[in-house]
Amino acid sequence: MTPAMLAIWSDVAPEQETDYLHWLTREHTAERLGIPGFEAVRVFRASLPEACRYLILYDLAAAAVLVSPAYLARLNAPTPWSRRIMPGLRNFARGGGEIRAGRGTGGGGHLLPLPLPLPLPVPLGQPPGGVEPLLDALAAEDRVCAARLLEVDREGSAVPTNEKALRGGDASFPGLLLVEATDAATLRRVLERHRRAFAALGAGEEEPVFCTQVFSLRQAAPA
């Protein structure tokens, strides 16, 4: 399980979506994985009929990568393609930090991301009501591959950069509970079975969004 992660949400206009996906899969993610500490990336598309919404998840070697000189230098020198794409992104929200707890070592093609408040209203560790018992229960569900809790480093995620200025400012979120499965039906069943536990964590305020993986890339192994 990766020790840290960067999660990025954004909406894309339908007429911009092809250009956005070409930029993401042909330049941007490879550029990011060239930065020390960026290990892998997965891109998910939300199942929303009214919006082209994407969630990008980067696996990081450590949360400190968010403020590393190499990463900040890249953020302050966006490519011409990035300069064209960034101003058109809407509802942009970005947050990175440590994976506080998790179960499962793989990943699923279907994802349920649940924004969480922090500090959590229930303890991380022991039952009753702790996060880790919930993660145990989620990982025990048929066809669930992994469950992880991302705690966002708000300060590290809020450093001003030239790239951020192109978007006109970013929103963020305190944390994310990420549940991965082999199919969307499993995630819908899990949501119903554990809805009360999710609500106890503060995850019931927004309508859940189900996502499907559309792209992945890993850092090239040293020759």
Q: Tens of pLDDT along 134-165?
A: 999 999 999 999 999 999 998 999 999 999 99
169-203 pLDDT per residue, tens: 799 999 999 999 999 999 999 999 999 989 888 88
Q: Which two tokens stand for residue 140?
A: 């025990």
Domains and CATH numbers, the chain: 4-218 (3.30.70.100)
- Output the DSSP codes for 64-109: GGGG-HHHHHHHTS--HHHHHHGGG-EEEEEEEEEEEEEE-SS--S
- For residue 40, the cross-strand partners are 59, 218
66-94 pLDDT per residue, tens: 999 999 999 999 999 999 999 999 999 99
- Residue 166 in contact with residue 90, Cβ under 8 Å? no
Least confident of 59-63, 80-84, 117-121, 127-131: 127-131
Amino acid occupying residue 56: I
- Residue 182 in contact with residue 110, Cβ under 8 Å? yes
This prediction's pTM: 0.94
